Amino acid sequence: MARATTTYVCQSCGAQTRQFFGRCSSCGSWNSLVEQVAAATDTRRRRPVAPAAEAAMPAQPRRSEPIHAVGDRPLQRLSSGYGELDRVLGGGLVPGSLVLLGGDPGIGKSTLLLQSAQAMAARHSVLYVSAEESAQQVKLRWRRLADPLEAGAAEADGPGAALQLLAETDLELVLQELEALRPAVAIIDSIQALHDGELSSAPGSVAQVRDCAAALARIAKRQDTALLLVGHVTKEGMLAGPKVLEHLVDAVLTFEGDRFATHRLLRAVKNRFGATHELGVFEMRGQGLAEVINPSELFLGSDEPSAGTATIVACEGTRPLVVELQALVSTTSYASPRRTATGIGTNRLHQILAVLEKHLGLPLSRFDCYLAVAGGLEVEEPSADLGVAAAVVASYRDLILPPGTVLIGELGLGGQLRPVGQLELRLQESARLGFRRAVVPKGSGLGRLAAGLDLQLLEAGSVAEALVAALGVNPADDRP
């Protein structure tokens, strides 16, 4: 008779151990191990032994087939009703795919999916499963987000009546509704709130999230239902639940934003049907989330020039964004100067300051330096290096960059200016917004394109040449 075995499962990372510890040895989280009891099963596989005569016969496949013989199936995506969401998904929802959407509490995940469900319901059947809110709560939000005329038509079984609502936490009842309705799109809000009665663990535990997601994935693949799952995040900002959940789904999206700002950023961390690190921009308004068609306006400062500001063109996936950088350099009052960066890594700022001090002779080690990205955007790519250097030098020398100038380039430790990718897209976005001068690395080969865009292209091979071209003066001369 099989004996029950006891294991301890970490609720943060899903690691298993036979002994209880106060701290998980895999992820280091404290008090996250939960006891689980499972009946032991005989996992030995019985394989028939082939006779010697059959073993000598040529190998023949049983179920596999040559890859070129697999039938082609046209990929028809379903539009979510929002171009920004479709951009991040790679063109829309793929039937039978699983999409995991995570974000901080109150950031707007349910609002985004409910608005998208209302838009998709005009063309497809949609099932919205609310496991955290009652049906009356969801309807109140739906009335606030929907247009009054559309809401009245939907209540009269007109357009939009294809949006079905189910307030349920029992996984079995949700699966039965999916099998009976067979919707084109299903939304589960949220996966951590579903509960499988066959498991003894509490909702939101590793076993519950893993088994509920696996069951939903099986029925979605079988019925070609595009499934959208809402996931919670931990206090560190990571998606809650086992890591196998992120491996199981086809796309992982993160919804983020500053609680002091109105704009929200939608990013793709994983996408099997499109490019990763795409960016969608929304703005939270009284009637819900609205798409931002020209997101560069959010990250540009005022038209009045000031010392210590520079403009760069960052690329998030295939989307170029014109962003303003602000720097402040002041004499330090401490033995060790302060270095603070918002929107750009502090280590990156330290590296750029070291390059400027080494190759331009600026004594920045005796000055405090503060750097910020306008609009609260996080810029991680190295193409912002030249803009950071120009903003720092302009603040140090109390200079104002000429209006209509953008700076694009990566700084090497030897002071050289390195090329960056997608330079053509960056120049086109700059010209569209009215910029007339662009400082770029030497050897870009885009002179003809810049001439057609009425854009003056200033190429430089080093940081010193680039700053002279941008500022019009040598920053190493007349040092204070």
What is the C-alpha radius of gyration for the chain, rounded to an integer number of angstroms?
28
Among 462, 475, 455, 442, which residue's Cα sits nearest to residue 405? 455
Q: HEC states along 36-60?
A: EEEECCCCCCCCCCCCHHHHCCCCC
What is the Cα–Cα distance from 383 to 428, expressed in whole angstroms?
16
In degrees rounded to 5, what are phi and psi of residue 197? -65, -20
In degrees rounded to 5, what are phi and psi of residue 269? -90, -35
The pTM of the full predicted model, rounded to 2 decimals, is 0.77
What's at 224, amino acid-wise?
Answer: D
Q: What is the pLDDT of residue 263?
A: 86
The per-residue b/e assignment along 395-411, b for 16 or more CB within 10 angstroms, e otherwise, is: bbbebebeebbbbbbbb
What is the Cα–Cα distance from 183 to 162, expressed in whole angstroms?
9
Cβ-in-10-Å burial (0-12, 13-18, 19+) of 146 comes to: buried
What is the Cα–Cα distance from 337 to 204, expressed in whole angstroms?
46
Q: Please count the other Cβ atoms lying within 10 Å of the Cβ belonging to residue 273.
A: 16
Q: Please count the other Cβ atoms lying within 10 Å of the Cβ belonging to residue 60.
A: 5
pLDDT by position in tens, the chain (length 480) = 456 678 888 877 778 888 888 888 888 888 888 877 765 555 555 556 556 655 567 778 888 888 888 887 777 899 999 999 999 999 999 999 999 999 888 889 999 999 999 999 999 999 999 999 999 999 999 998 876 545 555 555 544 467 999 999 999 999 999 999 999 999 999 898 999 988 888 888 888 888 899 999 999 999 999 999 998 887 666 776 667 788 889 999 999 887 777 888 898 989 998 888 788 999 988 888 999 888 887 777 666 778 899 999 998 877 888 999 999 999 988 888 999 999 899 999 999 999 999 999 999 999 999 999 987 788 888 999 999 999 999 999 999 999 899 999 999 999 999 999 889 999 998 998 889 999 999 988 888 888 898 899 999 999 999 999 998 888 777 544
